[in-house]
Amino acid sequence: AETRSNQARLFNMEDSGYDVLVASDAIGMGLNLNIRRIVFHTTEKVGQDGRSNKVSKLPVEKTMMKQIAGRAGRRSSAFKFGEVTCLNASDMQYLREAVEAPVEQVKQAGLFPAVEQIEAFAKVWHRAQASEVLGRLYQSHRTTVAELLDEGQPNDEGGAWAVDEVNSGEDSHGVPPEADLGQVIERFIAVALHNDRVYFVCRHSNIVSLAKKLHEVTDKLGLVDRFTFCIAPVKASDPLNFRMMRMFAAACSQGNPIALSLRFNKSPPRNVLELADFCSRHQIIDLYLWLANRFPLNFVEKDLALKQKEQAIRFIQDGLENMTIREEDILKLSVFGFRRREGNSGESDARKKPLRNQQQQEK
């Protein structure tokens, strides 16, 4: 992100000497740039086919094409009017259709439960499950579960023990530590009521998947802290990212101070695979800093992380300046990913590795 922002700043400066900006379709979102003309190199992008789940070249959505084209010539920029074209004449018809297409009105807004709502629901769901257990325990008794709970009367057959057993082991917020956050979220979404004419429930599969994967190593964390880990900025599909995330979560659950424990090559990336590896490690540093702002007593190497982040950004920028990236390289990276040699992944177990002396580390 820092590299992109720096390049955008240079492009916006009139006397910087940078008059051409090469960008992905992400240029259509979030950046205020002084653009006079946009040239589409292609109207296709590498993506995953929703039907076959195969990675291949897919057409860029016309709404996205229109949004990108609208970046050329804006009332608040240095250019009041703009131009848009394609590198290949065969793509011009698709571009015309995209630009002339009417703007689709937003009909629904996305909703996702706040952690306070999930926590409240988890308490209710836990009580409902506890009632089912008590109902089975006292099925042979004439006294109802509600009467036992209201009166708090001990039972000769073990009723008081059953009530205590159900209520024991809860965290300070009334949610048992063994509660599966992924299941809680799934259940919440399943029973939640909303006006589907105005709202839709946001996708939650990634959060649920991460919650289930981290469940066994975060058993000592409260539900709110577990939810915090699940919404952290981590690319869980990246093996190194996920391994470090799992180590961070496990160490935090044990209450241990957590070292960054991340190594970089001593020279800038020379090809697209090394660049992808650098970007992956930079994402881990961002994750560490994000968690350090929320768990400062555990993630104690924030200053070191900031220094390593600056170094990573510098190496990535140097690598981009001296590297030629072909379209074939990007497609290959998207399809096959990049493999790391076993035993040289560059990370260590944050639970077992002792916190290193920062002065020695800086040397």
Tokens of 288: 């560490």
Angle at 109 between CA 105 and CA 111, to 5 degrees: 165
For residue 122, pLDDT beyond 80: yes
| pLDDT tens digits, one per residue of 213-265 | 999 999 889 999 999 999 999 988 888 999 999 999 999 999 999 999 888 88
Cβ density class 158-172: b for 16+ within 10 Å, e for less = ebeebbeebeeeeee
- What domains sit in the chain, N to C, each tagged with a CATH number? 2-105 (3.40.50.300), 106-202 (no CATH), 232-363 (1.20.58.1080)
Q: CA 166 to CA 137: how far, in whole Å?
A: 12
pLDDT of residue 340: 41
> Which of 124, 142, 346 is CA-nearest to residue 244?
346
Q: Which residue has the higher pLDDT, 185 or 340?
A: 185
How many residues comprise the chain? 363
H runs (alpha helix) in the chain: 2-12, 62-69, 92-100, 115-137, 145-151, 159-167, 181-191, 205-214, 223-230, 239-253, 272-292, 302-321, 327-336, 358-362
Contact criterion met (CB below 8 Å) for 19 and 33: no
Strand 83-86 and strand 109-111: pairing? unpaired
pLDDT of residue 252: 95
Residue 200 host element (H or E): strand 199-201
Q: Which residue has the tokens 């944050």?
A: 350
Tokens of 106: 């937003």
**Between the CA atoms of 37, 43, 45 and 49, what dihedral angle is there, to the nearest 10 degrees?**
150
pLDDT of residue 17: 84
> Which of 235, 216, 247 is CA-nearest to residue 348?
247
Q: Helix, strand, or coil here: 109?
A: strand
Q: Helix, strand, or coil here: 260?
A: coil
Q: Which residues pair with 306 in a beta bridge?
A: none
pLDDT of residue 144: 40
Would the pTM count as exceeding 0.75? Answer: no
Section 179-190 average pLDDT: 89
pLDDT of residue 87: 92
| pLDDT tens digits, one per residue of 283-317 | 999 999 999 999 999 999 999 999 999 999 889 88
Give how far the C-alpha of residue 253 lies from the chain's centroid of Cα atoms, to the nearest Å.
Answer: 20
Compute the mean pLDDT over every residue in the chain, rounded to the nearest whole number. 77
